[in-house]
Structure 1
């Protein structure tokens, strides 16, 4: 695979062993390359400007500036990279806040290398890799957070698309299951995000679970 097709990744974590481990994880692939690593959130904007990564793997707990604030800063930049939040805990309140701030996916640091490969590929392609079980745990651990816009603002077709997407399906999967084009799927999802006032697929999926669209 040529360098033009490679997905570039910036790793941000205050643990040197994690940074080295992530580099080794992606060295086993031919389509993902680590273009840099940083040890704290205040180093992220300059690193993104310098390396222009497609995806940032962002630790949420760091010494000077945490991943949540760093993600918020990145989302104010023109054409920001996709962000995958990393957490040492299965369910972390910071994960919910990171998603609201613009993170496109989240992973536990205990996930196997193959899951990291799949997640980076998914977010780089505009999709998201998450499990329904993870979303259910987040909803159970954040009962006070409720969607600000009811699902009745959606059309029936948008509800169908949202329900399938909340299962972790890609745009291609949704298109096959609902017998529509991927372009139409993207259009429906853009409308869903706008109506639900969320920034990405994970936020929309969380709303679907909180509202009972997906049990």
Structure 2
């Protein structure tokens, strides 16, 4: 995405106060604009068709159609927007399901406004923003870490790249820490996803934590 482009956002949440609060969070920026909001998952397809947002902030628990089903429906469309899952609780298994459904990142509704800004910018640019601590909480709330033979297929360099990425580092950060080009980082991460049988960096990072690669 052009660095000067405005990022458009659709907010999906069944709480009117949350929708207003999220809109206020982005009102303080010049590069992120809320173009619409809806109160339930069954309203998402029409709103996306009308507003063509770059990013959808998706609540995971709603009355008629939850965020998981709404995300799956979006991902099945021809040109889906990026999706950031929102949860009112500490990260839990719902977030894992949302990532598997196609969400590109996740946020707790209690995050600071600056984290909302950073997450939307990262996702719009094709990246993912998450913290090492948030992944630790996901693993702690779902199941105990387990070893997996899938990690045995990774080369030593791929393990190094995965270990750094799992801390929430961006591709440029990984490149700087491991003294390699961003192109090489992308190549290694692509190989990691293929070997771990995952579709995105959040799932790859979770696999690393669950397998005990990250202590």
Q: Give 3-state SS (helix, strand or coil) of 1:136's partner.
A: helix
Q: 1:35 to 1:147 in 2, by over 3 A?
A: farther
Task: Tell me the residue number matched to 2:105.
Answer: 105
Q: State the distance in 1 between where 2:33 and 2:145 align.
A: 37
RMSD: 2.0
Task: Tell me the residue number matched to 2:186.
Answer: 186
Q: Give 3-state SS (helix, strand or coil) of 1:73's partner.
A: helix
Task: Tell me the residue number matched to 1:66.
Answer: 66
User: Where in structure 2 are the equivalents of 1:66-105 lying within 5 Å?
Assistant: 66-105=66-105
**Unaligned runs of at least 5 residues, structure 2:** none
Residue 145 of structure 1 and its aligned partner are, at CA, apart by 8.8
Q: Give 3-state SS (helix, strand or coil) of 2:163's partner.
A: helix
Q: State the distance in 2 between where 1:149 and 1:77 align.
A: 34
Task: Tell me the residue number matched to 1:119.
Answer: 119
Q: 1:181 to 1:3 in 2, by over 3 A?
A: closer
Q: 1:193 to 1:3 in 2, by over 3 A?
A: closer
Residue 49 of structure 1 and its aligned partner are, at CA, apart by 2.2
Residue 99 of structure 1 and its aligned partner are, at CA, apart by 1.2
Q: Give 3-state SS (helix, strand or coil) of 2:213's partner.
A: coil
Task: Tell me the residue number matched to 1:48.
Answer: 48
Residue 91 of structure 1 and its aligned partner are, at CA, apart by 2.8
| Conservation of the 8 A alpha-carbon contact between 2:148 and 2:211 | no
| Conservation of the 8 A alpha-carbon contact between 1:55 and 1:81 | yes
Q: State the distance in 2 between where 1:123 and 1:198 align.
A: 18
| Conservation of the 8 A alpha-carbon contact between 1:54 and 1:82 | yes
Task: Tell me the residue number matched to 1:25.
Answer: 25
Q: State the distance in 2 between where 1:146 and 1:72 align.
A: 28
| Conservation of the 8 A alpha-carbon contact between 1:9 and 1:57 | yes
Q: 1:139 to 1:17 in 2, by over 3 A?
A: same
Task: Tell me the residue number matched to 1:196.
Answer: 196
Q: Give 3-state SS (helix, strand or coil) of 2:10's partner.
A: strand
Q: State the distance in 1 between where 2:50 and 2:181 align.
A: 37
Residue 182 of structure 1 and its aligned partner are, at CA, apart by 1.3
Residue 87 of structure 1 and its aligned partner are, at CA, apart by 0.5
Task: Tell me the residue number matched to 2:177.
Answer: 177
- How many residues align structurally? 214
Q: Runs in 1 of length 4+ with deviation above 6 angstroms?
A: 144-149
TM-score normalised by length of structure 2: 0.93
Residue 159 of structure 1 and its aligned partner are, at CA, apart by 1.2
Residue 144 of structure 1 and its aligned partner are, at CA, apart by 6.8
Residue 155 of structure 1 and its aligned partner are, at CA, apart by 1.9
